[in-house]
Every structure is written in structure tokens, then in C-alpha cells.
Structure 1
Amino acid sequence: MAFDPDLADRMETALRGLGADPVRKPMFGGIAFMIEGHMAFGTLRDEIHVRVGLDAYEETLAHPDAGPMDMTGRVMTGWVTIEGAADLSEAALSEWAEKAFAFVRTLPPKKQA
């Protein structure tokens, strides 16, 4: 399995608890959560990927659970990866969801086709 469906459900619940209305999209063999047309949060294998933006990137990398997001041999700045995410508490998962939601709220909504 490319992603943990229970973890994806927990991620969606965390985003909805913040007032987000995420849309699930299969992406890169996992699931991405789109908010207002912007990719914000995702899961692949036992990892979560959190979009934090360039301004918060270095500070977020200092978190002991966060590492650079590198899915293709190229680091995607503005995103961090948290491994072993299925073991995160609901509170910790919600904190990561808040970081993603806080960043995408700074972006203008994309037009939906």
C-alpha cells in the first residue's frame, strides 16, 4: 500500500477540525489534501508532507521530527516530511495540519475547473 488510509482519514479530520474543507487527490502514489486549489498536506507510505512555505521552512526544519521533503532526489523547499506519522498523537497531527492550513490561507484561492 502506498499510503495508510487510516492516517489519511486522521489528516482529513485534523484539517476539518481547523475549519478547512480539504479535497483528497491521489498524487505521487499517495494522497494530497488540497485547500482552495492549493496542495497543503499529504501522505505517502508512513510519512506526512506538510507545506509550510519559504518563510517558515528553516524554523520548521529545526523541529526534531521534521526533515526536508525529497521525493525525487530534489529537496522541495517550503515543504517538510515527518516520518513514522501513523504514531503521531491527534494533538501532534493537528499541529502539523495547522501549519499547513496557516500557510495555504495566505495564498489566493485558485480558480477551480
Structure 2
Amino acid sequence: MAYDEVLAARVRDAVAERAEFTEQKMFGGLAFMVHTHMAVGITRDELMVRVGTDGYDAALADGAHELRMGERVMRGMVGVAASVTADEDALHHWVARGVDLALATPPQPPRPTRAKG
């Protein structure tokens, strides 16, 4: 599954204004990792935003939609349509929500590596 490269470049710039990050291929798209957490991502032409369970209902009321993995609703993550993120201010608003939550969450400790053998 491909993702929108133009949106990826715009998100990359927006995230970089707020925090250091890494990129990781995930969910058939691209995830932007901040403070060891996925802050935002892209799948197809939509933005995925980590809003947390506490911010979920407010994000839906603000125009986002629920994300599903198969039949399972991904509470804590929302999708934002391309028609919304076409506006630069709206894109920055949603990116800020995801990045700010990632920065406010303690980083995950590194996972131990297993010796191969």
C-alpha cells in the first residue's frame, strides 16, 4: 500500500518544526516517531494522528474520523481526511496534537535484543 509522498514531505516539515523524529514504515504507510512514540503517520492520502484515549472524543468532534484495523476501532488514533490536511494551518494543527502528546508521554525503554544462534 502506497502513501502520498507530497503529504509525507509536508508532514516531515511540520514535525521537524516541533521535535526531533525518526521515520518508520508501518501499517503500509509511513509513521513519524517522536520520543519513541508514533505521533503521526500517513496511509494512502490520509493523516493518522495519535490523540490518546483522553483526546479521542474531542478529536472526533474536531472533524477527525475513527481508524479501524479490520473490525477493530483504534481508540487513541484518528484519521484526518486529505480534504482537511490540504489546508496548511489544519495540517499543522493536527501534527501538533500528535507531536505534543508524544512529547508528553515518557519514552519507551529500549527492548532487549535476543542473541541469534
Cα shift at 1:73:
1.9
Within 2, Cα distance between the matches of 1:82 and 1:30? 14
**Where does the alignment leave 5 or more consecutive residues of structure 1 unmatched?**
none
Q: Distance in 1 between matches of 2:83 and 2:50?
A: 15
Could you tell me how far apart the structure 2 residues matched to 1:105 and 1:86 are? 24
User: 2:96 maps to what in 1?
Assistant: 98
| Dislocated runs of 4+, deviation >2 Å | 110-113
The Cα RMSD (Å) is 1.7
> Identity percentage over the alignment?
39
Aligned partners of 2:83 and 2:29: how far apart in 1?
14
Q: Deviations over 1:90-112 (max 9, x none)?
A: 21111001100111122112234
Asked if structure 2 preserves the Cα contact closer than 8 Å seen for 1:47 and 1:82, the reply is yes
> For the pair shown, which has the larger CA radius of gyration, 1 or 2?
2
Unaligned residue ranges in structure 2 (runs of 5+): 112-117
Tell me: CA distance 1:59–1:41, structure 2 relative to 1, closer, same or farther (3 Å).
same
Q: Tell me: CA distance 1:48–1:2, structure 2 relative to 1, closer, same or farther (3 Å).
A: same
| Residue equivalent to 1:51 | 50
Match of 2:34 in 1: 35
- Mapped to 1, the partners of 2:41 and 2:14 lie a distance apart of 12
Aligned residues: 111
Alignment match of 1:80 (pick from 60, 78, 81): 78
